[in-house]
Chains A and B, each alone.
Chain A
Amino acid sequence: GAVVSQHPSRVICKSGTSVKIECRSLDFQATTMFWYRQFPKKSLMLMATSNEGSKATYEQGVEKDKFLINHASLTLSTLTVTSAHPEDSSFYICSARAPGGGNQPQHFGDGTRLSIL
């Protein structure tokens, strides 16, 4: 089945550091990928929709200058948390929808646990 790879799986860094998370679709081309944030024991909240070759679409309340998204190819989207602070600590998950029509589900990466000290 379709596989989405996310890297790194865990990051621990100092406040003020910028962190880049990669999301790759391994066996299909994804024109659209999605970035979610998940707080402990909570549901997934969509942060932004990443579109290949164009600007990402951010959900209301998400700072686009804080969470930079780049979708440079059909198999790779990156999320950069700029100047991260402790409140940015969270679990970040990406997903991509497999091609083949509207009934295709989204396939998720394994997630990245970001801890800002």
Chain B
Amino acid sequence: AQTVTQSQPEMSVQEAETVTLSCTYDTSESDYYLFWYKQPPSRQMILVIRQEAYKQQNATENRFSVNFQKAAKSFSLKISDSQLGDAAMYFCAYRPGIQGAQKLVFGQGTRLTINP
């Protein structure tokens, strides 16, 4: 079974600085998708960024980028120029690439605090 591990329960960063959240996963499959979701205090899950395993290029969305290391099964999230609104729980998630397999497997989450 696939597992997702976030080894940092909590992280904090100074506003405008850069922070990296770690995520590792375990799978025997070669085709899959990886996601980072953000859950602010309002509790809604918001998609931050996604990565297809077959793509070597790291995904980027404005201030958010990932470092995808397929061989190491690592998928870290880098937030540049941190803003107060980035404060939230961040969840790394895995989904198989098999057609019809849609279940997401979530990591334990990392609570990110932004210090003004």
Query: A93 to chain B: closest CB distance in Å?
Result: 7
A68 CB within 8 Å of chain B = no
Q: Tell whether A105 pairs with B91 under 8 Å between CB atoms, given A43-B107, A46-B104, A49-B103.
A: no
Query: A113 to chain B: closest CB distance in Å?
Result: 8
Question: In the assembled complex, which residues on chain B have CB atoms less than 8 Å from the CB atom of A115?
Answer: none
- Closest partner residue, chain A, to B108 (CB atom): A43
A12 CB within 8 Å of chain B = no
Contact assessment for B35 and A49 in the assembled complex, using a CB-CB cutoff below 8 Å: no
Once the chains are docked, how many angstroms separate the CA of A91 from the CA of B44?
A: 11
Contact assessment for B33 and A106 in the assembled complex, using a CB-CB cutoff below 8 Å: no
Contact assessment for B45 and A95 in the assembled complex, using a CB-CB cutoff below 8 Å: yes
Once the chains are docked, how many angstroms separate the CA of A41 from the CA of B103?
A: 21
User: Of B33, B35, B37, B107, which is within 8 A of A102 by CB?
Assistant: B33
Query: B93 to chain A: closest CB distance in Å?
Result: 9
Contact assessment for B99 and A102 in the assembled complex, using a CB-CB cutoff below 8 Å: yes
Once the chains are docked, how many angstroms separate the CA of A102 from the CA of B104?
A: 12
User: Of B42, B45, B46, B99, which is within 8 A of A93 by CB?
Assistant: B45
Once the chains are docked, how many angstroms separate the CA of A49 from the CA of B104?
A: 11
- Closest partner residue, chain A, to B104 (CB atom): A106
Query: A29 to chain B: closest CB distance in Å?
Result: 15
Once the chains are docked, how many angstroms separate the CA of A109 from the CA of B107?
A: 19
Contact assessment for B44 and A107 in the assembled complex, using a CB-CB cutoff below 8 Å: no
> In this complex, which of A34, A97, A103, A109 has the most chain B Cβ atoms within 10 angstroms of its Cβ?
A103
Question: In the assembled complex, which residues on chain A have CB atoms less than 8 Å from the CB atom of B47?
Answer: 105, 107
Contact assessment for A110 and B44 in the assembled complex, using a CB-CB cutoff below 8 Å: yes
Question: In the assembled complex, which residues on chain B have CB atoms less than 8 Å from the CB atom of A107?
Answer: 47
Contact assessment for B45 and A102 in the assembled complex, using a CB-CB cutoff below 8 Å: no
- Closest partner residue, chain A, to B107 (CB atom): A43
Residues of B within 8 A of A (CB): 33, 35, 37, 42-47, 50, 52, 91, 97, 99, 102-104, 106-109, 111
